[in-house]
């Protein structure tokens, strides 16, 4: 799954860049038409467009992720969907469904507070992580982080024999948080309810890893500490080594895709 995520992201980036170039030239030709074309009415539409355009690239990127989490949260409220939700949207190594919940459970929250807290952290770090990795690479890392953190949770549950269903985006978000804190350790952070107390991102990351390590070792059940720890370690590894090993070696795949696209375009007479 991780290989497919990064391969798709590389192709997506190629297509996005190609589309931007085409849009630029088409937009330059159409500029003079905009001056004589009657403007569309609708204050609400203008307000929505203005709000969207004022968002950073990172905030626009995570809007889709947040929308997916809200949609899944609403599905939990439907009584007829409970059986499906417990089977496919919670991760448990003793369940009959093993693979798909590793991804789907990272978009699943039963508690409104749990979802709101996770989405707030994701929104807060969205601009930093997307400016660091870019939109396409970030999506590949986020999806991979969800699967990898759930896999670490599976391993811990199998090792301890404690089979409990888990859900939530915390593992993937821990990857985002750890990646940003590793790259910008001197950045100042604060707790939402205690904004007067600030601390460096590096110290925050150390405290989080220590807390989840203790929770895993002592068998605390407050959170899925194994998933948190797996996500954090993956985030630290990726920005330190993974970017060089994976993303910077995408050229052969993109070249093969380009040649295939060019060949198909030539056959079509384009």
- Residue 223 has phi, psi (to 5 degrees) of -135, 175
- Residue 96 has phi, psi (to 5 degrees) of -70, -25
pLDDT, tens digit, 9 for 90 and up, residues 25-45: 666 555 555 555 555 556 777
> Rounded to the nearest 10 degrees, what angle do helices 225-237 and 170-183 cross at?
40
pTM exceeds cut of 0.85: yes
- Residue 61 has phi, psi (to 5 degrees) of -65, -45
pLDDT, tens digit, 9 for 90 and up, residues 77-135: 999 999 999 999 999 998 889 899 999 999 999 999 999 999 999 999 999 999 999 99
3-state secondary structure 15-83: HHHHHHHHHHHHHHHHHHHHHHCCCCCCHHHHHHHHHHHHCCHHHHHHHHHHHHHHHHHHHHCCHHHHH
Alpha helices in 134-192 (DSSP H): 135-160, 170-183
C-alpha to C-alpha distance for 140 and 155, rounded to whole angstroms: 23
Question: Is the per-residue pLDDT at 201 higher than 70?
Answer: yes
Residue 44's pLDDT is: 76
pLDDT band at 19 (very low <50, low <70, confident <90, very high): confident
pLDDT, tens digit, 9 for 90 and up, residues 139-159: 999 999 999 999 999 999 999
Do the beta carbons of residue 124 and residue 189 sit within 8 Å? no
Instruction: Using alpha carbons, select from 10, 48, 268 the residue that is nearest to residue 138.
Output: 10
Residue 9's pLDDT is: 96
C-alpha to C-alpha distance for 80 and 76, rounded to whole angstroms: 9
Question: Is the per-residue pLDDT at 268 higher than 60?
Answer: no
pLDDT band at 261 (very low <50, low <70, confident <90, very high): confident
Least confident of 37-46, 170-179, 240-249: 37-46
Rg (C-alpha) for the chain, rounded Å, is 21
Active site residues: 170, 228
Question: Is the per-residue pLDDT at 56 higher than 80?
Answer: yes
Average pLDDT over residues 167-180: 95
pLDDT band at 270 (very low <50, low <70, confident <90, very high): very low
C-alpha to C-alpha distance for 32 and 45, rounded to whole angstroms: 23
Question: Beta partners for 190?
Answer: 198
The residue ranking higher by pLDDT, 234 or 40, is 234
Least confident of 192-206, 208-222, 250-264: 192-206
Domains in the chain with CATH codes? 1-12+55-256 (1.20.1540.10)
């Amino acid at each position: 799954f991780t290989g497919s995520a990064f391969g798709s992201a590389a192709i997506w980036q190629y297509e996005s860049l190609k589309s931007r170039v085409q849009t630029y030239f088409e937009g330059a030709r159409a500029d003079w038409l905009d001056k004589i074309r009657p403007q569309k009415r609708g204050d609400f539409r203008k307000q929505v467009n203005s709000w969207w355009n004022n968002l950073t690239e990172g905030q626009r990127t995570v809007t889709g992720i947040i929308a997916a989490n809200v949609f899944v949260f609403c599905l939990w409220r439907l009584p007829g969907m409970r059986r499906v939700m417990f089977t496919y949207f919670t991760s448990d190594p003793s369940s009959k469904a093993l693979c798909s919940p590793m991804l789907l459970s990272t978009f699943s929250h039963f508690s409104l507070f749990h979802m709101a807290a996770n989405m707030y952290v994701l929104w807060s770090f969205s601009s930093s992580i997307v400016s660091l990795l870019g939109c396409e690479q970030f999506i590949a890392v986020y999806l991979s982080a969800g699967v990898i953190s759930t896999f670490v949770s599976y391993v811990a549950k199998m090792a301890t024999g404690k089979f409990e269903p888990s859900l939530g985006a915390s593992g993937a978000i821990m990857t985002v948080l750890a990646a940003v804190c590793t790259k910008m350790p001197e950045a100042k952070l604060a707790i939402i309810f205690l904004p007067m107390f600030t601390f460096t991102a590096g110290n925050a990351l150390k405290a989080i890893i220590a807390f989840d390590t203790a929770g895993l070792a002592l068998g605390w059940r407050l959170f899925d500490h194994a998933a948190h720890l797996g996500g954090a370690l993956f985030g630290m590894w990726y920005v330190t080594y993974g970017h060089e090993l994976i993303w910077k070696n995408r050229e052969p795949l993109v070249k093969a895709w380009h040649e295939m696209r060019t060949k198909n375009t030539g056959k079509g007479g384009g």
